[in-house]
Structures are given as structure tokens and as C-alpha cells.
Amino acid sequence: MSAPDPGFGIYVHWPFCQAKCPYCDFNSHVVRNVDQVTYARALVRELEHMAMLSDPQAVTSIFFGGGTPSLMKPATVETVLAAIDRLWGINQGVEISLEANPTSVEADKFRALAALGVNRVSLGVQALNDKDLKFLGRLHSVDEALGAIELARTHFGRMSFDLIYARPDQTVEAWTQELTRALSFAVDHLSLYQLTIEEGTPFFDLHARGAFTVPDEDQATMLYDATQSICADAGLNAYEVSNHARVGAECRHNLTYWRYGDYVGVGPGAHGRVPKGGAKCATVTERMPSKWLALVEAQDHGLVDQETITPAQSAEEMMLMGLRLQEGVSLKRYASLSGKPVNADRLSELSGDGLLQQTGDQLKATPAGRLVLNKLLGELLA
């Protein structure tokens, strides 16, 4: 069987939120009265620059991520999509996703976004429990989240939502109940993340001061195992560490990252892997929205770093991304990029430990391996 085509995606970062959640270290900022016309114009200029930089490709997915892209006015989304269409073309069947917060969606906006071609929404529900939503600093209630799910189901062909688990004091029984309830509202895709305490966030300081504790490793493993089996029983396969979908309903845009395809990233703090002269160019833009805007206005782009990735780096990145996927990575592709095969001794050692599994040309992390992916990669690629 030939390897699936990784596709080519365009990522658009909208860095603004109504409030900053205490656990979040994404590039998101609370700014009142964002001038969306100016911002849209800057996104278009940066897209034009990226199109010039990049070898021609057929776009397979577009992803509005954040921050909170559901705070974008439909006219802003329209301007960005029109530019992508002009520069690359948007064929029928291109996946166009947008991340939405339950507090910033209304029927009119969803209707307008769907009419513009957005065909997939990913909602940040986070919990189906009001006490935990409050703990997570979310502005919505369970009722509002369920209303937003309903609305998204009405307007979009495809809909997913995010939940954060492994919260303080969360038992396997409570999570089982909550996840089972969530599955009754799900269509065909769920993103289920374990709460991580990120440095530089309010949760990091609170956690360090002992204001709350998170499940220890054993408890987290039990919660993870319960997640895998409950979703599998419901027909939502864990196609990636934190992502569950029915076959065919996987997020194509994220698959492009994990299958190590090419993508352009625009907006503050966006990363890209841009195809250039047959190689991959890693791009990063300025994170601070005001500085990014000033850079784009001065030079047509907000790039602060741009470097061609060596084949050896590409091989490592491909392994890093691909082992997140249930389908794994092609050992031949790794060898042809890096110029040498994976170290056979390490491979057999890690397979013997039950962390890796090889089927023909495909190398996969086992469920146990996926739980300790960073450590596993460190050992495999040392």
C-alpha cells in the first residue's frame, strides 16, 4: 500500500481571546477593539508574501486557529479566503476548519461562516461540568457549550469538540460518565487533551504553590486508558495521541502536520514548513500582534525566522510527528531523508520493551509507547 498523500495546508492564526484561560500557553492575547479591517489586510499581505516564497501547490486544507478565531467577523474570514483562492485556488472539497469558543458563536455568525465555505468547526468545550469549567477559567457554562454544539451541528457538515481531562481530583468513574455523555453529543471527531501545567501560565504558579494538584502518573495513565477504550467502543478511533475520529472523519489539516506535509502559516507566531526549491523551509512569524502588524506594514511579512531544513532535521521532524499517529511512519521515508536507516539495535530494544511495533515498512508507537512519546523519541533518535 502506498503512503497517504500528506496534503498541503494553510494555517491562519487569530491571536485574540475574550479572556486568557489560566492553563493556556498558546499565543493568545486579550485586546479590546481589534481593528479587523487592518488585521485582515495584513493577513492578505503576508499570504501574498508566502505564496511568492513557496513552490506552487494545491491546497488541501485551511485552518483558522487561535486564540479564538470565532471572534473574527465573517467579513475578515471572507477577505482571507478570497486571498487564498486568488493565490492558490480553493477547490471544492478543501477542508476549511475554524476553532470556536462556545461564548463567541451565534447562529448568524455560524450561518455566515458556513456560507463562506467554512465546513468544519472545532469547539473548545473543555468540560461538561460547571465546577471544572469555572476552575479552568472558562467563560461558558455546560448549557452554553451544549447549545453551541447543537448550533455547530446545524450549520456545518463536520464538527469536533475539545475536552481537557486529568483535572484535579478527577476519578476514572467521573471522567467515564462525562466522556460517555460527551460522546452522545459528538458527531465523528473529538480532541481529548490531558491537562498540562505549562510554564509561564497562572496554573504553573498556583500548582507550584500547592493550590491544587493534578493526577499523578498512575492516575493519569488510568484516565488515558479509559479514554482510549471508551472512544474505541464508540467507534471513535484514536488516530493520534489526543484525537479520536471515525474512519474518514480525521482532521485533514492536522494530518498534514503529522504526516509531515508542507504548510504555510500566517498571522502572529505562526509556524510553517514551506516547500521551496524542492526542500522545506521552516518559517516563524513575530508573536506579538502589534509588532507583527508593524512588521507586515513595513516589509509585507512578519517573518522573524526562515531557514531551510537539512534532510537530517527533516527525518527527525518526520519521526517526531509521525509517531503521534496510529498509522506510524514509513521507515523507507525516514531512511531516504536522513541518509541512514533507524538504528536497528535501538529499534529492537524499544520493540522488546513494548513501546514500538514494526509492520512491514511502517513503524508505530504502541499505546504504551504513545504515553511516553518524548522519552521514546529521545532514545530512538539518540
Ligand X SMILES: C[S@@+](CC[C@H](N)C(=O)[O-])C[C@H]1O[C@@H](n2cnc3c(N)ncnc32)[C@H](O)[C@@H]1O
- For binding to ligand SF4 (CB under 6 A), which residues are involved? 17, 20-21, 24, 26, 28, 66-68, 101, 124
The one among 195, 274, 303, 325 contacting ligand X by CB under 6 A: 195
Residue 28 or 119 having the CB closest to ligand SF4 = 28
Interaction partner, residue 361 (ligand X, ligand SF4, none; CB < 5-8 Å by kind): none
Least Cβ distance, residue 103 to ligand SF4 (angstroms): 9
For 134, the grid coordinates are 469555572
For 224, the grid coordinates are 488515558
Q: Which helix (H) or strand (E) holds 11?
A: strand 8-14
Least Cβ distance, residue 170 to ligand SF4 (angstroms): 18
Residue 17 or 363 having the CB closest to ligand X = 17
Residue 61 or 126 having the CB closest to ligand X = 126
Contacts of ligand X in 65-84 (CB under 6 A): 65-66, 68
Grid look-up 486568557 returns 20
| 16 residue type, one letter | F
Contacts of ligand X in 126-145 (CB under 6 A): 126
Least Cβ distance, residue 151 to ligand SF4 (angstroms): 18
User: What are the φ and ψ backbone dihedral angles of 289, each rounded to 5 degrees?
Assistant: -55, -45
Contacts of ligand X in 234-273 (CB under 6 A): none
Q: What's the chain's length in residues?
A: 382
Contacts of ligand X in 14-33 (CB under 6 A): 23-24, 26
Residue 76 or 101 having the CB closest to ligand SF4 = 101
Q: Which helix (H) or strand (E) holds 91?
A: none
The one among 124, 261, 268, 369 contacting ligand X by CB under 6 A: 124
Least Cβ distance, residue 13 to ligand SF4 (angstroms): 10
Interaction partner, residue 20 (ligand SF4, ligand X, none; CB < 5-8 Å by kind): ligand SF4
Neighbours of 326 (CB within 10 A): 16
Helix (H, G, I), strand (E, B) or coil at 99: strand
The site for ligand X, by CB under 6 A, has a size of 16
d(CA 63, CA 100): 12
Residue 183's Cβ-count burial label (10 Å; 0-12, 13-18, 19+) is middle
d(CA 201, CA 305): 25
Contacts 24+ apart (CB under 8 A), 279-283: 279/308, 279/309, 280/308, 280/309, 280/314, 281/53, 281/306, 281/307, 281/308, 281/309, 282/306, 282/307, 282/308, 282/309, 283/50, 283/53
Least Cβ distance, residue 279 to ligand SF4 (angstroms): 32
Neighbours of 52 (CB within 10 A): 10
Closest residue to ligand X, Cβ-based? 124
Interaction partner, residue 198 (ligand X, ligand SF4, none; CB < 5-8 Å by kind): ligand X
Interaction partner, residue 265 (ligand X, ligand SF4, none; CB < 5-8 Å by kind): none
101 binds ligand X, rule: CB under 6 A: yes
d(CA 298, CA 44): 14
For 220, the grid coordinates are 493519569
Least Cβ distance, residue 68 to ligand SF4 (angstroms): 5
The alpha-carbon radius of gyration of the chain (Å, integer) is 21
Least Cβ distance, residue 145 to ligand X (angstroms): 10
Interaction partner, residue 196 (ligand SF4, ligand X, none; CB < 5-8 Å by kind): ligand X
Least Cα distance to 329 among 381, 371, 282 occurs for 381
The one among 18, 91, 171, 196 contacting ligand X by CB under 6 A: 196
Residue 101 or 243 having the CB closest to ligand SF4 = 101
Interaction partner, residue 272 (ligand X, ligand SF4, none; CB < 5-8 Å by kind): none
- How does strand 329-330 pair with strand 362-365? antiparallel
131's CB contacts (< 8 A; 6+ apart) are: none
The one among 5, 106, 150, 198 contacting ligand X by CB under 6 A: 198
d(CA 44, CA 82): 9
Per CB under 6 A, residues contacting ligand X are 23-24, 26, 65-66, 68, 99, 101, 124, 126, 162, 164, 193, 195-196, 198
